Amino acid sequence: MFFNKNRASGVEWLVVGLGNPGDKYENTRHNVGFLTVDHIADEARVPVQKLKYRALTNTVELGGAKVLLMKPVTYMNLSGEAVGEAARFYKIPADQFEQVVAFFPMITSPDTVIVGKLAEGADEKAVTDALEAYRQSQEDTFSWYLSQNLPKVQDARTVVENGYLLFFIGENADQAEELFHAYVEAQG
């Protein structure tokens, strides 16, 4: 989850990686959010280990902005409580929620979901071209590695509607696209 800028508070962004605590979920698809935050932290060379707001946290500077990285220690379904505590502390209003991104790469499956809100002025063609290049790399990989997954890759969807983006590789691409359209419509 990404929450929008609030320059007056010191922290301009909250980057929240969702997951579940415990060894049972470590390095599974359930903890892709944790893994994402860990990757950002590793790149910035900062540990995410300070317990604040019922989350493991640390601040980093990304792209000139001060960012609070968060890994809620609650189970995923209670992570909103941790996010709410941090958002209230940094005075980030609920309406500043800007985008959510989910990415589920698996070693034995190409399943990928990315849903997000494009930044104002974003180059839509550059984004869709990059996603098509990723899809093609998955097709190249899975055409020889796990051919049973190839139909999913070949039926991948990239949809941009009213500033929102869906990129989907997986079962039931038609259903994923329908759900995305319903989501965008509900955003007003």
* 124: confidence class by pLDDT, cuts 50, 70, 90: confident
Sheet holding 2-3, edge to edge: 50-52, 55-62, 65-72, 13-16, 2-3, 97-99
Q: Residue 30 has what DSSP assignment?
A: G
Is 30 a known active-site residue?
A: yes
Report the pLDDT value the prediction gives residue 148, as an integer from 0 to 100. Answer: 56
Among residues 30, 52, 66, 181, the one annotated as catalytic is 30
Predicted local distance difference test score (pLDDT) of residue 94:
63
Q: Which of 62-71, 102-111, 140-149 has the lowest mean pLDDT?
A: 102-111
| pLDDT band, residue 142 (cuts 50/70/90) | low
As a whole number of angstroms, the distance between CA 31 and CA 39 comes to 12
What is the pLDDT at residue 41?
A: 85
Predicted confidence band of residue 103 (pLDDT cuts 50, 70, 90): very low
Query: What would the two tokens of residue 119 be?
Result: 């930044």
Q: Report the distance separating Cα 79 and Cα 17, nearest Å.
A: 9
